A and B are shown apart, each in its own frame.
Chain A
Amino acid sequence: MSKTFSLSAKNLIRKPGRTAILALLTAFLALAVFGGSVVVLSLRSGLNSLEARLGADIILVPTEAQSKVSFQNMFLQGTTGAFYMDASALEKVTEVEGVEKAAPQTFLASLKADCCSIKIQVIGIDPEKDFTVQPWIARSLTKELGDMDVAVGCKVEANVGEIIRLYEQRCKVVARLEATGTGLDTAVYCNMDTMNALLKAAEEKGVSHKIESGSDVISAVYIKVKDGCDIDAVNSRLNGHIRKATAVRTRSMITGVSDSLAGVSRTVSGLIVAVWMLAFIILLLAFALIIQERAREFAVLRLLGSSRRMLSRMVLTESALCGLLGGIAGVGLAALLLFPFSQLIESSLRLPYLMPDAGKTLLLAAGTALLSAVMAALASVAAAYRLSRIDPGTVLREGN
């Protein structure tokens, strides 16, 4: 086995042009497969993470927020937004039949001004009740969010231990959250007491909450419907029961995203298959040409006592090695394109985009390289068969 292997390796090294062309062809194949899969995977886990963070069946928001679609933009693109309703809405929600859990959130956008260190979306949560964001925060922060503590999304430029100023209030960064691939990555999170303090400070700076002062405000209520209850029915009951606010099924937000995702996935998959087939056909042609070029070489090997199996194994080893080389190059190239430009891809696709973690990526890379080796070997099966059947008597007779 290793006896013909070293010969195969020498053939590759000493015919660098031929090796490079074959490797380049498989590199395209690997580039398409790896790059495409990473994009599709990132979109899929972006959607999953969006679903998990939205993890509610229904969201109640002020009617104005619903019409301005500011809520959806906040989630998908991380644009800042603030809209308010009376905190009593939470109580009213719990009165509605079929509601299992209800958790309030309050939004505030900081300013790009002297009073704030960054312009950012601030989200106040009730750690006791919250079932959408809290589990995610808990992964990075073991204790509860204390007063004037904030947890920051992964895209916020602030480190743990740092103090950030929001409306002249000093908030301590206590945790940095995992990436979600959604607009939530550009927000900071605090508890309701902190939020109320911030709201008050903001009001002093002239940022109004547009509702009668005196009562507490919230921006949204996340609602989980009891098992077995019809979500649509609960939704309409909510809309009938609460004025000035609208209950929206989260499904309606997600279907839009998942429809676009399916579209992008289809395009990318189509592209993968097209590049794949093209590369494979060109590989087949390349190997067909190589048969001509290498007939004499294989006739000599046969003459010197190689069996047919040894010859076909040699062809397959060489093409698999070329494929592996090309596969690694292609994966490397894809990584070079994908990782630095992930931001760009993310913003141009306008969809939640969450890159797979290092382990998964490495596995995918190794898989792609291996696949390239197998594809190259497969493309050379016919060549291997024909070269191993070569008749040295006839080939060596043909001139010099």
Chain B
Amino acid sequence: MMFKAENISKRYFRRTGSANYFYAVCPLSLEIMACGVTVLAGRSGSGKTTLLNMLAGLLAPTEGKVWLDGTDLYSLDDKSLSRLRSEKMGVVPQGRSAIDTLTVMENILLPARLYGRPEPIEAARQWMEQLGIAHLADARPAELSGGELRRMAIARALAQAPDILFADEPTGDLDDGNTHIVLSAFHDFACIQKKAVFVVSHESDAFQYADKVYRMDGGQVDIMH
């Protein structure tokens, strides 16, 4: 797997003193390790989610290209991009992301079901076990706490075994214990299954699991280590 962004930027309209637009993400290039955990840290409003969405194929950049295995994501039509995202990429978004009419287990198997792929039931069970939500398999999302929902979304992304997994502040609403459980799950996934994980987090806890850390500020990205 080869994943890189080339000179991507995102400009939004906003009337400020001199100009009527600003860069949420300034033009930048970066490559994500094929196997390992990459962490993106930064203050609120620095553009982390915007960058992650562009990388994950969810938000077209104003300029630049995003390459996955030699394919320019945003040159694809909607159908092909959707299929590619479903097959090779997993996303854990910032907010709530459960389908309320489905049980927890059905939510986790949904990405495979949408395309009629074999359901990764075993993998789902294992990740749920590891994340401490195995007992909630048949519960409805409405019955779950914020932290449990978050771990459900993480299990959903992991169970699909994507080549690259994006997670936006996955430990934001978790206690210390669960934060470590989630981060080590990402670490295991990257090391054992040889996959790429890209995590947005402003908690220093994340750094000890990271193979590479970027820092973002005002739309600019620097390598920390």
Q: How far, in whole Å, are A64 and B3 apart by their CA atoms in the complex?
A: 102
Chain A contacts for B113, CB-based, 8 A: 3, 6-7
> What is the distance, in angstroms, from A297's C-beta to the closest C-beta of chain B?
6
B82→A310 contact, CB < 8 A: yes
Tell yes or no: A374 within 8 A of B by CB: no
| Tally of chain A residues near chain B (CB < 8 A) | 30
Residues in B with CB closer than 8 Å to A399 are 95
CB of B101 within 8 A of CB of A14, answer yes
Q: Please, how many angstroms separate the alpha-carbon atoms of A14 and B97 in the complex?
A: 18
B80 to chain A: closest residue by CB? A307
B101 touches A10 (CB 8 A): yes
A310 interface neighbour in B58, B97, B114, Cβ under 8 Å? B114
| Stretch from A213-221, A354-362, A390-398 at the B interface | A390-398
The verdict on A133 contacting chain B, using a C-beta distance below 8 Å, is no
Stretch at the interface among B62-70, B85-93, B125-133, B204-212: B85-93
Contacts of A309 in B (CB 8 A): 78-79
Q: Is the CB of A300 within 8 A of B97?
A: yes
List B contacts of A2 (CB < 8 A): 116
* Beta-carbon nearest neighbor of A13 in chain B: B101
Q: A297-B99, A297-B100, A400-B96 are in contact. Are A305 and B58 (CB under 8 A)?
A: no
Determine if B115 and A11 form an interchain contact, defined as CB atoms under 8 angstroms apart: no
Contact indicator per residue, chain A 371-398, by CB within 8 Å of chain B (1) or not (0): 0000000000000000000011100111
A window 1-57: CB within 8 A of B: 2-4, 6-7, 10-11, 14-15
**A residues within 8 A CB of B85?**
305
Given contacts A307-B78, A307-B79, A307-B83, 20 further A-B contacts (CB under 8 A): A3-B115, A14-B101, A14-B102, A15-B101, A300-B97, A301-B99, A301-B114, A303-B91, A305-B114, A307-B81, A309-B78, A310-B82, A391-B59, A392-B93, A393-B53, A396-B94, A396-B97, A400-B95, A400-B96, A400-B146
Q: Residue A300 contacts which of B53, B79, B98 (CB distance < 8 angstroms)?
A: B98
Interface residue A176 (Cβ < 8 Å from any Cβ of B): no
B95's partner among A10, A11, A306, A396 (CB-CB below 8 A) is A396
Nearest residue (CB) in A for B116 is A3
Whether B102 lies near A392 (C-beta < 8 A) is: no
Q: How far is the CA of A392 from the CA of B93 in the complex (A)?
A: 9
B49 CB within 8 Å of chain A: yes
A304 contacts chain B at the CB level, 8 A cutoff: yes
Residues in chain A within 8 A of chain B (CB atoms): 2-4, 6-7, 10-11, 14-15, 296-297, 300-310, 391-393, 396-400
CA distance A310 to B116 in the complex (A): 13
Question: A310 vs B101: C-alpha distance in the bound complex, in angstroms?
Answer: 18
Q: Main SS of chain A's interface residues?
A: helix
A306 touching B101, Cβ below 8 Å:
no
Taking CB atoms, residues of chain B closer than 8 Å to A7 are 102, 110, 113-114
Complex Cα distance, B199 from A128, in Å, reads 98
CA gap between A15 and B142 in the complex, in Å: 13
Bound together, the chains give a CA A368 to CA B97 distance in angstroms of 39
A305 to B82, CA, bound (A): 5
Contact B98 A4 (CB under 8 A): no
B147 at the interface (CB under 8 A from A): no
Does any Cβ of A come within 8 Å of B218's Cβ? no
A305 surroundings in chain B (CB, below 8 A) = 82-83, 85-87, 111, 114-115
Cα-based distance from A4 to B82 in the complex (angstroms): 14
Q: How long is the Cα–Cα vector from A11 to B116 in the complex, in angstroms?
A: 18
CB-CB under 8 A from A306, the residues of chain B are 82, 86, 114
Shortest Cβ distance from A199 into chain B, in angstroms? 77
With A297-B99, A304-B110 as contacts: A397 and B91 at CB distance below 8 Å = no
Nearest to A307 among chain B residues (CB) is B82
Task: Let me know if A300 and B82 touch, CB within 8 A.
Answer: no
- Complex alpha-carbon distance, A335 and B133, angstroms: 51
Q: How far is the CA of A43 from the CA of B17 in the complex (A)?
A: 76
Q: Which residues of A contact B78 (CB under 8 A)?
A: 307-309
Q: Out of B81, B87, B98, B114, which one reaches A3, CB within 8 Å? A: B114
Instruction: Please provide the 8 A-B residue pairs with the shortest distance between their CB atoms, ordered closest to farther.
Output: A305-B86, A307-B82, A14-B101, A393-B53, A396-B93, A304-B111, A3-B116, A393-B59
CA distance A46 to B115 in the complex (A): 55
Chain A residues contacting B106 (CB-CB under 8 Å) are: 10
Select which of A10, A15, A304, A398 is within 8 A of B114 by beta carbon: A304
**Cβ B114 vs Cβ A393 within 8 A:** no
CB contacts (< 8 Å) of A310 on chain B: these are 82, 114
Q: Could you give, for residues 6-24 of chain B, a 1 whenever the CB lies within 8 Å of some chain A CB and a 0 otherwise? A: 0000000000000000000
Q: Which residue of B lies closest to A10 (CB)?
A: B101
Contact at B95–A303, with CB atoms within 8 Å? no
Residues in A whose Cβ lies below 8 Å from that of B114: 3-4, 7, 301, 304-306, 310
Q: Report B212 CB to chain A, min CB distance, Å.
A: 24
How distant is the Cα of A301 from the Cα of B98 in the complex, in angstroms?
Answer: 9
Query: A322: shortest Cβ distance to chain B, in Å?
Result: 14
Given the contacts A393-B59, A400-B146, A304 and B86 also touching, CB distance less than 8 Å: yes
Contact present for B82 and A397 (CB under 8 Å): no
Contacting residue for A296 out of B86, B96, B110, B111, CB 8 A? B96
Q: Which residues of B contact A391 (CB under 8 A)?
A: 58-59
Distance in angstroms between the alpha carbons of A398 and B78 in the assembled complex: 24
Least Cβ distance of B21 to chain A in Å?
Answer: 17
With A4-B114, A14-B101, A392-B58 already in contact, the answer to whether A303 and B86 are too (CB < 8 A) is no
CB proximity to A under 8 Å, residues B175-223: none
Distance to closest chain A CB from B224 (angstroms): 25
